[in-house]
Amino acid sequence: MAIQFVEGGATAAQGFTAGGIHCGIRKNKSKPDLAMIFSSVPCAAAAVYTQNLVKGAPILVTKEHLKDGAARAVIVNSGNANTCNADGVETAGKMCAAAAKALHIDENDVIVASTGVIGVPLPVEPIENAVPQLSSRLSKDGSLEAAKAIMTTDTVMKNLAVECTLGGKTVKIGGIAKGSGMIHPNMGTMLCFLTTDAAVSASVLNTALHTAVDQSFNMVSVDGDTSTNDTCALMASGLAGNPELTKAEGEDYEIFAEALLQLCTALARMLAKDGEGASRLLTCTVTGAKDEKNAKTAAKGIIQSSLFKAAMFGADANWGRVLCALGYCGAETDVAKVGVSFSSRAGQIKVCENGAGVEFSEELAKKILTEDEVTILVELGDGSAQATAFGCDLTYDYVKINGDYRS
């Protein structure tokens, strides 16, 4: 199964162009705040949304538009979430209408999203005024512009693509994402827009996307807050010319699903590493669980523990906080069997075995935990299931960033 990462992001796949522009939602005129992705042909489409009961108006509109499993464009603004606004749905609808008019497509084929501050009315006029110019500058090289335009507190653009072969045809899947804080399992404050030139039916696309999200984005936790606007959408143009995937089974489907999962996992890792104020990426891999549900519960429980995250910020091998989180997260396990190790480019060290501490070098542990990517390896000894969760350390800067977010 030859899957490799390639250049191009959301425009790597055939048929897609993208771009970004500053329209005036954000005060900083050097920061683009409106992005667009467009397909030259009709696409099969699917999406996954936040599980927060409070949902941004764009989600309500996008859900309605994707009932037929079809789309051709994405329009998204940053700087304002368009959430908890009396005119939110109307505003999101106007964004779709503006994009549809400029692109000469049906407004029901437009996916709309917003990200930023909650509870502040979103002025739609700047968006409507900027859409014609934005649509005219969409290009095959515009994925980075779009990736930059959807950023809020992000410090790094998330722009990736993968390539595989289906039915003898080269297929690409690419995408852009944003997310830095307010990220928690079950879709955190993140937006992700994926594109592919594979020929895939809407129902199969939906299955593959939900499966990939469940193992990637839903395994990310930055701060325990589940946002209101999370959306992960995928459009398939079919221009690669492979035999259409109409069933979620068979070798070609498995290849496509694995390629999509690899892309989503890579983007999820970028989201976690770019967590607000973060200084290091934390990856928690739990093995030996009795089943996948318990493996996921344990991995996420550890990765979202504030005490553990704080210890990682200080490069402190306080493994007791791992067991503490494991004990209250709800995973069914025998703590007397648990083993814990810390690993990074600097090496690996065992700190706990059979639920009790073992002698280890604090100096080596500090060296391992000072790296910018650290893995926590947890062996439960209950079975053969495993899961991996992604997060980051908790730093002083997280409080600073969120203390003055609206300013």
Q: What is the CATH number of the domain that holds 253?
A: 3.60.70.12
Q: For residue 184, what pLDDT is reported?
A: 46
Confidence of residue 85 (pLDDT cuts 50, 70, 90): very high
Co-location of 245 and 292 in the same domain? no
Report in angstroms the alpha-carbon separations of 257 from 163, 206, 234, 260, 261: 12, 11, 13, 5, 6
Res. 117: pLDDT tops 90: no
Cβ contact 324:307 at 8 Å: yes
Whether 245 has a pLDDT exceeding 70, the answer reads yes
349 and 233, same structural domain? no
Q: In this structure, which amino acid lies at residue 87? A: D
How does pLDDT run across 2-39, given as a tens digit for each residue?
Answer: 899 999 999 999 999 999 999 999 988 889 999 999 99
Residue 175 is part of which domain span?
4-273
Q: Are 250 and 293 members of one domain?
A: no
Q: How confident is the model at residue 183 (pLDDT cuts 50, 70, 90)?
A: very low
Instruction: Give the domain CATH number at 368.
Output: 3.10.20.340
Distance CA 267, CA 254 (A): 20
- Specify whether 162 is located in the same domain as 286: no
Q: What is the pLDDT of residue 188?
A: 43
Same domain, 60 and 199: yes
- Average per-residue pLDDT in the chain? 92
Q: Is the pLDDT of residue 379 over 50?
A: yes
Is residue 23 within 8 A of residue 129, CB to CB? The reply is yes
Whole-number pLDDT of residue 152 = 85
Q: What percent of the chain has pLDDT over 70?
A: 94
pLDDT of residue 403 exceeding 90, the answer is no
Beta strands 385-392 and 281-289: pairing type? antiparallel
Residue 323 binned pLDDT confidence (cut-offs 50, 70, 90):
very high
Is residue 190 pLDDT above 50, yes or no?
A: yes
> How many angstroms separate the CA atoms of 85 and 92, rounded?
11
pTM for the structure as a whole: 0.87
Nearest Cα to 17, choosing from 41, 33, 1, 52? 41
Asked if 178 and 318 sit in the same domain, the reply is no
Same domain, 322 and 262: no
Q: Are residues 99 and 193 in the same domain?
A: yes
Q: Are residues 254 and 337 in the same domain?
A: no
Task: Kindly report which listed range (181-185, 211-215, 308-312, 356-360) carries the lowest average pLDDT score.
Answer: 181-185
Out of 241, 273, 305, a domain closes at 273
Clarify whether residues 236 and 372 are in a common domain: no
Domain end marker among 257, 273, 289 = 273
Q: How many domains does the chain have?
A: 2
**Positions marked catalytic:** 189
Would you state the pLDDT for residue 155?
83
Q: What is the C-alpha separation between 112 and 94, in angstroms, rounded?
A: 10
Handedness of CA 82, 83, 88, 94 (dihedral sign): positive
